[in-house]
Chains A and B, each alone.
Chain A
Amino acid sequence: MYYAMKNNHLKIVVIDDSPSSILLYKASTDKLPVNVTSFNLSAEAFTYLKKHKPDLIILDIIMPGMDGFTLLKKLRDLPDHKMTPVIIMTSKDYFQDRSIAKQLGVIDFIIKPLRFNEINKLLRKYITSKPTLKAATV
């Protein structure tokens, strides 16, 4: 787990098994008013998220062990995370993945690879207008 904390900043949790992606997220958010906590294993992230409620979760689908959707389903079963805004990051756009994401109340579905500026722009969008969510339907 990579951890950084500053008060009054937007709390973002990034869950991605690729260390280079995590480094990119951290570099992209360096000058933004956010605290980024990152995990490369779903199980570790789940343990953390049982006790913490971030403002935004950025989640990869394909991960060793528990995949991103399964993790999100488990999170949606927790009272604290029924409405937590989640952005899905994936390397390929599949219709059924979008369906599952919609079912799980995902607010954005982004296709990788993302570049520094794209991540920065994406997060700025969520910083300026805090995302709202419909309750998950499952």
Chain B
Amino acid sequence: MRSLALLLILVNLIFFIYPKNHKISAETQTTTCFKIGPYKDLNQLKQIENQFNNQKVKIEQTQQLISTWIYLPPFKNRKAAIRAKYKLKQKGIDHFMIITTGKFKYAISLGFFSQTKYINRRIKELKAKGFHNFKQQERYKTNYWLTVKLPSEESLKNIKHVLCYEK
């Protein structure tokens, strides 16, 4: 909430610095965009967007991969899953568990990973040991960004150094 309050102050400051009656001809107009974020709460950002009832402030969203779940898909029954478990152990594969409830009942979880190097290492290990039927479930989170568009860079010279800037 504090960061949103600061953001609000900053956006107000930008519009305050920029003279209201200032006009720029189409030939000389450039656009400076500040992309501020990421934020997780869309509702909070909408509150800010609503305060600027024009096109200068917009919300954008991006998807970010946060983790990948690697698993062997559900086996027919508990017996088949246990058989697969022994096969994994026999081949020297460690760190797994049989899921016994829910939609993935009798699947075998082979790990949750956030970093590509660990995902690749696990996949390489599985393939090398003859397990090719594994599945990957990629998990994403939505990030929201507040894009503030201004018609000129001139008014922003003094604050450029503290913000992510793209033209």
**Hey, which bits of chain A sit against chain B, CB under 8 A?**
61-70, 73, 91-92, 94-96, 98-100, 102-103, 113, 137-138
A138 and B97 contacting across the interface, CB-CB below 8 Å: yes
Q: Which of B81-120 contact A (CB under 8 A)?
A: 95-104, 109, 111-115, 118
* Total residue contacts A-B, CB cutoff 8 A: 63
| Choice from A64, A67, A94, A138 contacting B98 with Cβ under 8 Å | A138
| Choice from B67, B102, B114 contacting A96 with Cβ under 8 Å | B102
Q: Which of B128-160 contact A (CB under 8 A)?
A: 139, 141
Expressed in whole angstroms, the minimum distance between the Cβ of A94 and any Cβ of chain B is: 7
A70 and B95 contacting across the interface, CB-CB below 8 Å: yes
Q: Which residue of A lies closest to B70 (CB)?
A: A67
B66 and A91 contacting across the interface, CB-CB below 8 Å: yes
A99 and B99 contacting across the interface, CB-CB below 8 Å: yes
**Hey, which bits of chain B sit against chain A, CB under 8 A?**
40, 66-67, 95-104, 109, 111-115, 118, 139, 141
CA distance A98 to B109 in the complex (A): 14
A94 and B97 contacting across the interface, CB-CB below 8 Å: no
Q: Which residue of A lies closest to B102 (CB)?
A: A99
Given contacts A70-B95, A96-B103, A137-B100, contact A64 B111 (CB under 8 A): no
Q: Can you add 18 more A-B contacts, CB < 8 Å, to A65-B118, A96-B104, A99-B102?
A: A64-B113, A67-B111, A67-B113, A68-B112, A69-B97, A70-B95, A70-B96, A70-B109, A70-B111, A92-B66, A95-B103, A99-B99, A100-B102, A102-B101, A103-B101, A113-B40, A138-B97, A138-B98
A62 and B67 contacting across the interface, CB-CB below 8 Å: yes
CA distance A96 to B109 in the complex (A): 11
Q: Which residue of A lies closest to B121 (CB)?
A: A65
For residue B95, which residues in chain A have a CB less than 8 angstroms away from its CB?
A: 66-67, 70
For residue B112, which residues in chain A have a CB less than 8 angstroms away from its CB?
A: 61-62, 67-69
Given contacts A91-B66, A92-B66, contact A62 B97 (CB under 8 A): no
For residue A98, which residues in chain B have a CB less than 8 angstroms away from its CB?
A: 102
CA distance A70 to B98 in the complex (A): 10
Q: Which residue of A lies closest to B118 (CB)?
A: A64
A-B pairs with lowest CB-CB distance, top 7: A99-B102, A67-B112, A73-B97, A70-B95, A62-B114, A99-B101, A62-B67
For residue A68, which residues in chain B have a CB less than 8 angstroms away from its CB?
A: 112
CA distance A91 to B115 in the complex (A): 15
For residue A63, which residues in chain B have a CB less than 8 angstroms away from its CB?
A: 114
| Choice from A73, A92, A99, A102 contacting B104 with Cβ under 8 Å | A99
For residue B98, which residues in chain A have a CB less than 8 angstroms away from its CB?
A: 138
Expressed in whole angstroms, the minimum distance between the Cβ of A83 and any Cβ of chain B is: 18
Expressed in whole angstroms, the minimum distance between the Cβ of B108 and any Cβ of chain A is: 11
